[in-house]
Chains A and B, each alone.
Chain A
C-alpha cells in the first residue's frame, strides 16, 4: 500500500500521560501536515513541514504539542501531559503538488 500510513489507529491514555503518534507519508511527497478533527467538525490545521523544516504552526498547537520530521520522511506528533480536551482524531496528510492525501488517522481518547 502506497498511501499515507498512521500508527497507532487507536490510543487510549490516562490524563497526564504522554503519547506519540507516527505518520509515514507517500514516499515522494515533500510536504506533510497534521490536523485534528473532533466529532462533528471539519479537520483543523495543526502544523506543516516541507521536507524536515516545520514551516507553520497553528495557535491550536500548544506548548504540550510537538511535531518532528527528522529526515524529511516520517513524522511524529507528541502530546505531553494529555488532557481530556485532547481527545480527537489526529490526521496526517502528505502532498507533492496541489492536493493532499490523508491517512486514516489516530483516534485518541483521554480518560
Chain B
C-alpha cells in the first residue's frame, strides 16, 4: 500500500527565516511526488512536482523540494519565509505515475510569525 507521512502537523517560523516541511512516502513503484498548498477557504494549488527527472525540483513562490530515493523523502524548503506563506501544505504521492490515484499526507500547517 502507498502512504505519505508528514512528520510535523504544525510548523511555526519567523518571517525571513528558512522553512522545512518534511515528507516521507512509501510506494511499491517509482512514484510521482507533489506538494500542494491550501490557503484558508481556497482550493488546492500545485507548488511543485517530481516525475523521475531532476531530483531537485523548483516550484512557485521560491519553494523547492529534493527527492531522495534512499531515504524515501521529499522535503519542501524555502530559504526565507513570507507572511503570505502561512497555509496548509500537503505532500502527495501518485504511486504508479499513471494518474489513477493521488494519495495525500495529513498536511502540515505553516505559521509565519512577524
Nearest residue in A to B101 (C-beta to C-beta)?
A: A45
Residues of B within 8 A of A35 (CB): 104
* A41 close to chain B: CB less than 8 A: yes
Known: A42-B104, A98-B49, A99-B49. A31 touches B99 (CB 8 A): yes
Nearest residue in A to B50 (C-beta to C-beta)?
A: A98
For the complex, give the distance between the alpha carbons of A103 and B9 in Å: 24
* B77 close to chain A: CB less than 8 A: no
Distance between A87 CB and nearest chain B CB, rounded to angstroms? 17
What number of B residues sit within 8 Å (CB to CB) of A? 22
- Chain B contacts with A in 23-55, Cβ cutoff 8 A: 32, 34, 36, 42-46, 49, 51
Nearest residue in B to A3 (C-beta to C-beta)?
A: B43
Known: A41-B107, A42-B104. A101 touches B46 (CB 8 A): yes
* A74 close to chain B: CB less than 8 A: no
For the complex, give the distance between the alpha carbons of A55 and B76 in Å: 32
Distance between B86 CB and nearest chain A CB, rounded to angstroms? 16
Residues of B within 8 A of A99 (CB): 32, 34, 46, 49
Residues of B within 8 A of A43 (CB): 44, 90, 104
Contact B94 A98 (CB under 8 A): yes
Q: Per-position contact with B for A74-111: 1 when CB-CB < 8 Å, else 0?
A: 00000000000000000101010111111111000000
Closest A-B pairs by Cβ, 8 of them: A42-B104, A102-B44, A104-B43, A43-B104, A42-B107, A42-B106, A98-B51, A95-B99
Q: Known A-B contacts: A43-B90, A98-B99, A101-B46. Give 20 more (CB < 8 A).
A: A4-B43, A42-B90, A42-B104, A42-B106, A42-B107, A44-B104, A45-B101, A55-B100, A56-B100, A56-B101, A93-B44, A97-B99, A98-B32, A98-B49, A99-B32, A99-B46, A100-B46, A100-B102, A102-B45, A104-B42
Chain B residues near A (Cβ < 8 Å): 32, 34, 36, 42-46, 49, 51, 90, 94, 97, 99-107
